Chains A and B, each alone.
Chain A
Amino acid sequence: MFAYYLDLAWHSLRRNPILTALMVLAIGLGIGASMTMITVLHVLTDDPLPGRSSQLFTPHLDPLPLNYKQGGDSPDAADNVTWPDAMALLKAHRAERQAAMAGGTLLVRPARADLRPFNVDGRYATADFFAMFGMPFEHGQSWSAADDAARAHVVVLSDTLYRKLFGNGSGIGQDVRLGEHDFRVIGVTADWQPKPMFYADPGAQHYSDVDQFFLPLSAAVDLKLSTNGNQSGWGKNDDSTSLTGATMTWLQFWVQLNSPAQAQAYRQFLVDYSAQQKAQGRFERPSTDAKLYSLMGWLKHENLVPNDVRLQLWLALGFLFVCMVNIVALLLAKFLRRSSEISVRRALGARRRDIFLQLGIESALIGVAGGVLGLVIAQIGLWSVRHRPDDYAQLAQMDMPMLLGTLALAIIASVVAGLLPAWRACRVQPALQLKTS
């Protein structure tokens, strides 16, 4: 029966090739535009560390004074952590693993004569950083808590920077000059680029920045290396601009908690810590303001998706909607015009259900064709997105679920669009139609 209906649908569509083409084009355009934007939104809100993200959390303390005024456009000062708070949380050691970190850009002065000095982005961090985020090492290993305490001048390089500096030779144990200081290379990580770079400062380019080196935070603070990102201070004296001062937030802090019970306990610990700081007169806001964000919750809080992308998505969906209304009207006209044909079939014994199925298959066929066209249009759309200079542009690729999703959306859209016309058409009174013709 199905094959027969398919055959009928094919014949009916071929009888009106221009109209069929127009319907396929309309649904293709709508689906193509929508899937382009849904894909962009999908990659922007994707899980940066699948499998590990559910165990990663970031504490959010609020050390700001009560009368602190947030600047209109600048990021929330409480999104970062002060040095004393970060050190206290590290020392408390209440999580499975914990690390404080901050971004920095340093000038690399290569030993090789054929390379001019250049700037690279990297991260100052504490020892747990590597194990907590599951960073894969290619050579050597990370530094230890003892190195942190000793403010050791050691560095872990990314594979790209390592090859650039040392070619194919071994650089482990050798010195690299970063800024004004020498650091001993102790490890090389595989190029590890979580997108978005969830652990970066709220002001970072989360989709395009890549860390090329990692060195102990204690050494960076000790040597007063330059840091990137938002530094918000509220102190009255010099304390407000000192990295180790209690009145400037600039660090990011992440913890690993393996179970919901651990997370709950850590949340309570943060509230207790805030209460204790408040009792000492350092914090002014309620201790219950202390929060613990999960990784995905943090990304939501940061709201990394640009407003323009959301607007584009709504625009595309609005476009799809108008296309759908269009197709409903065209299908309705088309099906109703075949009232006499339907009446003959009904008179010969076809049930309403059969007619409904037949017309449904015809709409689905349009949907399949529209979906294929939509896929092509979405690929063109994504190609054009990749040529934008936005920092997320390079990520705009369709994966398999998205590919199948496109086809499914197209078929669902066209079947839904066909429902009303098919229902209306199968309610035609056979006797009446047969008489008039």
Chain B
Amino acid sequence: MQMRPILSTLRRHKLTATLLTLQVAFTCAIVCNVAFMIASRVQRISVPTGMAEDKLAVIQSTSIEKGENQQAQHAADLAALRGLPGVQSAVAVSYSLPLDQSESSRGTCPSKQALDRAEQINSIEGSGCMQPTQYDGTPGLINTLGLRLVAGRDFRPDEYVSTGKPTVAIITRALAQHLYPDKQALGQSMYDGDNYIRIVGVVDRFLRPNLRKPGVDDDSMIWPQRPDGSSVLYVLRSAPKDRQRVLKAAAATLLKINPNRLIDPGRVQTYTQIRAKYFQRDITMISLLFASALGLLFVSALGITGLANFWVQQRRRTIGIRRAIGATRGNILRYFQTENFLIVSFGIVLGMLLAFALNLTLMKFYELPRLPLYYLPIGALVLWLLGQLAVLGPALRAAAVPPVIATRGV
């Protein structure tokens, strides 16, 4: 294929070709960044909680009588809930569950020296101390939630406390590594300013109620502490398909046992709903980003097709002459395909630079990470394919121009 004639033709349509190049460049820049944003959001919403999510359902109950014995009520409620058909197990927690937004966290140090260090520099960062989320719950929490114990053991019944702080805890693998980077965490005693708390078990993961930043999202610990407040979350484990039925039965049962309570219909949820609610904005954003990327590619293809159509119509006579002096249909077809490839390639080169500039701006204002390099060749490939597809129709029409056109006047 000879490049010279193509280049000289493009030079005659400098303005139009430049505009098309610009369009491809902007599309390339935006689509690369949008694809990257989609990928990071998808990664965010697929974070594992460490629980058997599809088997869990949650119901919140708030007592409205002051002075009742809350723990006795919780025990009675749990006994009734466990008796419901379909319920495999049930536990009560104060208010925290992964991705459920209410959170209680406290500074926890690997040793007393680390706490002194933290107080000296008036900051928890760099002292070795961490800010883990603190979960509580009635006996059976680990099994009901489906957490995977990777070291140590579950709590013994005598370790559970009704008030005050317990002396033992189970922590996540991530927290174990952060607190004790170079020794075995099991059996160590953490210090929280008042008490020493011994680590008796390590679970694989247990996500926070609120995501902070990757790296510390899995820093959690579980205390053998029974909920004591007027508001409590009951977590029910059942087969996935039974969850809605179990929730309905549970709400009715709880009100029958003691009508002096509030059950907010918005807080009778399967865990799947809790998760979807937490990531609602991300899900909206993903679909919007996806739609805008598709829209951009569509509009670009539209521009390429429209312009190619014009050029084909404009050059009918020239095409006819070329055919008459021996060019095959294939030659004509490839001429337009190569022309498009050239324009799109210019666009891609400029687009990659723009993509980086756009990414830098986004990093500055929206705390986005740096665009990984491999997005660029993928984006280039997509645009080349799109360009070839868009130009195919007009190019075929050009190839179909009969040589006889050359002999006719306009």
Question: What is the interface of chain A, defined by CB distance below 8 A to chain B?
Answer: 19, 22-23, 25-26, 29-30, 33, 67, 69, 72-73, 107, 109, 116-119, 180, 306-308, 311-312, 315-316, 318-319, 321-323, 325-326, 328-330, 332-334, 336-337, 388-390, 420, 424, 437
Contacts and interface: CB of A to CB of B under 8 A. Distances in A.
A333 B300 contact: no
A322 B262 contact: no
B26 interface: yes
Given A329-B307, A333-B307, A315 B289 contact: yes
Given A19-B309, A67-B122, 12 more contacts: A22-B306, A116-B262, A308-B284, A316-B292, A318-B30, A319-B296, A322-B296, A328-B19, A329-B20, A388-B284, A389-B277, A420-B15
B16 A333 contact: yes
B299 A323 contact: yes
Interface stretch (B139-147, B183-191, B310-318): B310-318
A329 B27 contact: no
A104 to B, nearest CB: 16
A308 B365 CA distance: 11
Closest 9 A/B residue pairs (Cβ): A329-B19, A326-B303, A333-B310, A325-B23, A330-B306, A322-B26, A22-B302, A315-B292, A318-B30
B106 interface: no
B26 A325 contact: yes
B372 to A, nearest CB: 19
B14 to A, nearest CB: 11
Given A118-B262, A180-B66, A318-B26, A26 B299 contact: yes
B280 interface: yes
Contacts of B26: 318, 321-322, 325
| Chain B, interface residues (CB within 8 Å), range | 35 or more
27 contacts: A25-B302, A26-B299, A26-B303, A29-B299, A30-B299, A69-B122, A72-B212, A118-B262, A307-B366, A308-B281, A311-B285, A311-B366, A315-B34, A315-B289, A322-B27, A329-B20, A329-B306, A330-B306, A330-B310, A333-B311, A337-B310, A337-B314, A388-B284, A389-B277, A389-B280, A390-B284, A420-B15
Given A107-B64, A119-B262, A180-B66, A315 B299 contact: no
A363 to B, nearest CB: 15
Nearest to B213: A72
A424 B15 CA distance: 9
Contacts of A332: 15-16, 19
B73 interface: no
A322 B30 contact: yes
B288 A312 contact: yes
A323 B27 CA distance: 10
Contacts of B307: 329-330, 333
B410 interface: yes
B123 interface: yes
Interface of B: 15-16, 19-20, 22-23, 26-27, 30, 34, 64, 66, 122-123, 212, 262, 264, 277, 280-281, 284-285, 288-289, 292, 295-296, 299-300, 302-303, 306-307, 309-311, 313-314, 366, 410
A119 B234 CA distance: 20
B24 to A, nearest CB: 10
Contact of A330 (B15, B264, B280, B303): B303
B405 to A, nearest CB: 15
A62 to B, nearest CB: 19
Contacts of B314: 337
B23 A329 contact: yes
Contacts of A424: 15
Contacts of A388: 280, 284
A337 B292 contact: no
A258 B277 CA distance: 44
B300 A322 contact: yes
Nearest to A324: B23
Nearest to B264: A119
Nearest to A36: B288
Contacts of B300: 322, 326
Contacts of A325: 19, 22-23, 26, 303
Max chain A C-beta neighbours (<10 A), residue from B20, B264, B300, B302 = B302
A327 to B, nearest CB: 8
A19 B20 CA distance: 16
B313 A337 contact: yes
Contacts of B284: 308, 388, 390
Given A319-B296, A325-B26, A390 B262 contact: no
Contacts of B16: 329, 332-333, 336
Contact of A33 (B66, B295, B309, B313): B295
A181 to B, nearest CB: 12
A311 B366 CA distance: 8
A328 B22 CA distance: 11
Contacts of B302: 22, 25-26, 326
B394 to A, nearest CB: 12
Nearest to A340: B410
A389 B292 CA distance: 21
Contacts of B212: 72-73
Nearest to A67: B122
Max chain A C-beta neighbours (<10 A), residue from B34, B212, B303 = B303
